[in-house]
Structure 1
Amino acid sequence: MTPARRVHVALGERGYDILIGRGLLDDAEGLCALVPGRHVLVLSDENVAPHYLLKLEAALAGKALRACVLPAGEREKNLGRFAELMSALASLGASRDATVIALGGGVVGDLAGFAAACWMRGVRFVQLPTTLLAMVDSAVGGKTAVDLPEGKNLVGAFHQPAAVLADLATLDTLPPRQLRAGLAEVVKYGAIADAGFFAWLETQAPALLAREPAALAEAVARSCGHKAGIVARDETEQGERMLLNFGHTFGHAIETAQAYGGLLHGEAVAVGMVLAARLSTRLGLAPGADATRLQALLSSFGLPVAVPAGLLPETLLSHMRLDKKAISGRLRLVLWRGVGRAEVFADVAPDAVLAVLVS
């Protein structure tokens, strides 16, 4: 096991560490230390469980453990699956000192976290992310939720994990499409707050796509550092944390319109960031050259940069009105003034949004 990098999320007594390194899931003693109580529920999916579940169960031998393995995909992040987890915790006899462990990507983490937030009004929760997207985004910060047919992440809670272990070795088995989707969220941090990081990414596409360990470790650590700082300053998304949704209002609308069966989350966010940048240019907020630069960077990672065929602009706009950042149906969007300078803008004109959706 290589020495792990450590990023701290400073939330006082509820603060926690993000450990980033290779071989963290091979440290049985470290894994067992994450579960101080007797009862543990592990949630994973059918893609991840065959690789890592037996190793985790062996590390937690002696605990009263139950594992739930779901089919993979965003469609599983629903109220029905949440109810199944509640029943699983009940049948386990899980007490207030129980731990829920998420072993997988963003869907598993969001669902497991929401279950932990609700069981007995909140129990311990540990994130073991196995996708790049989860490592740099969804596993950090305590946002937990399930989707409704009407929109993504509409039912949820803020519930911080006790720890996040990002074992970079799990990325060795990650499908290329999933790796690229995670890189969209990495790009986001440069786009919203760090022009230097953005420029570094422009030089690192070949290394990151080739999964070079040093490049991946740097990308994950810098991304987590940005998110940890933002979460510490604005845990419940009252201000600065909204910037992390750059591209997401457009992206979530695309995912919802495709009934969570089309673009992956990161792919939809890539398209959404391009649309947000174009809208910023249209509104006179940012130079068009920066939008072009963003599109080129995303394209270098093999990510989509255009709205999928067959999606009506009016349909996408209606989904955007239901976004959590909207106020009384008025659009509130994260836009930018160029690379590294994102801001939240209230009451964005729907006609301007439609214009970029049809262009």
Structure 2
Amino acid sequence: MPLRAYPALSRRGLLAAAGGLGAASVLAACGGADEEEPEGAGGASGPFAFLDERDGQEVELESVPTKVVAFTGLAAALYDYGVEVAAVFGPTTLADGAPDLQAGRLPVEELTVLGNAWGEFDVEQFAELGPQLIVSHYYEGFDLWFVPEDRLEEVEALAPGIGIEVSKPKLDQIIDRHASLAKALGADLESEANSAAVERFGAAAGSVAAAFGENPMKVLAVGAWPDGLYIANPPTFNVLAKCVELGVDLVVPDNPDQNGYWELLSWENADKYEADAIFLDIRTNGIPADVLLADYPTWAALPAVAAGHVYGWNAEPVYSHVGGAIELERIAEGLAAAKPLGG
């Protein structure tokens, strides 16, 4: 989200850095055999009810909606459970057409993206789809994520909206909420693929605990932007909080911003915190590791960087059991590969 998941000194700066709104193709229910071809939408019937976490009120419909429009990251989670939506909006593709990180395993080549930048939301095409429901993530103070504020009333006049809170609950709770929405939309959570995904998530969590237990060290999670190095505050990022719960010794910054997400360090002061391993936010709006190494000497001089102990983490993972597992597996691999610099 803006002031939280995305480091920015002002809301305007945050929104400028944030990514993109899009809308996409008409999709139907899906079923497949594994995580790449999700299995599960069984065509639920009967009334539909689901909690909108923006205001604590249930959204009730006479029947299960078949024309659902979703924020790309949320649509990616639904896709992992076997539910495809009528359209998407949010960061979907990169300039070369490759999937954005938040698109997860969505078949982006099949999507019609109406806008791939913050503030772009084609309300006219949204209306033409005949939407029955719009769903997005919710961060306190920002309503439906990636729906332009000046178009929100118009959008929700065309279809009721649901927001899923992703800034405060624990990772497991957020994933369970996405799974519950998928079930409400017709996913079979007991399918072979979905059952395997739950097991994979549990195993991935175990691998993080095991990797750190066998190889304890001081770990620093950061994001890198031109204005400085952002030190992530573990309690306010659900992925990092999960790692702490699993025993990982993550640096807690002593001067986070007013939202509690980051401490901004100038590049001259990038060495404020000592760490044996650094996990760099790999979202596409940040500076990638190779550019940091080539163009930012104070980064290159950090002991963990010089030792090659730089690994990736994603501050906005796809909140499905598959997506959560992939993120925890990525972190576990880094923890297993690094070594304490003291010996």
Q: Could you state the TM-score of these two structures normalised by the residue count of structure 2?
A: 0.30
TM-score, normalising length: structure 1? 0.29
Q: Which has the higher contact order (CA 8 A, sep 6+)?
A: 2
